[in-house]
Structure 1
Amino acid sequence: MGRRLIDVSLMEEAERYAEERMQREDCRLFVAKYAELKGSVRRMFIARYLNGMLYEQSEQG
């Protein structure tokens, strides 16, 4: 149960970040790739995407 909540919050964070990036650049590749994935592979993709987001934020700040 707790793990599901983590997954949902990760996905919500990634969606917010994707929306933010769409204003700056073309995110169609991200959306297309995400749509192809299922289950744990999708979660790994989100984790990698969030990791990139955190790295990008640390570079800026």
Structure 2
Amino acid sequence: MKVTVEQDKCVAAGQCVATAPDVFDQRDEDGVVVLLTEEPAADLADDVRYAAAVCPALAIHIED
């Protein structure tokens, strides 16, 4: 699994961080998503997929 984010689309809702904090974080100054790892461990795959699904801006993309 490879994860990418579009920071310019991010609305700083924080759903990704709440769902997969080992993979996503937010910038302190504006709350925009920060990707911590492009290739998360297999045991995080379900959380990452859920984070992408609940992202209100659809800013998270996953390639399997």
TM-score (norm 2): 0.32
Larger radius of gyration: 1
Structure with greater proportional helix content: 1
TM-score (norm 1): 0.32
Structure with greater proportional strand content: 2
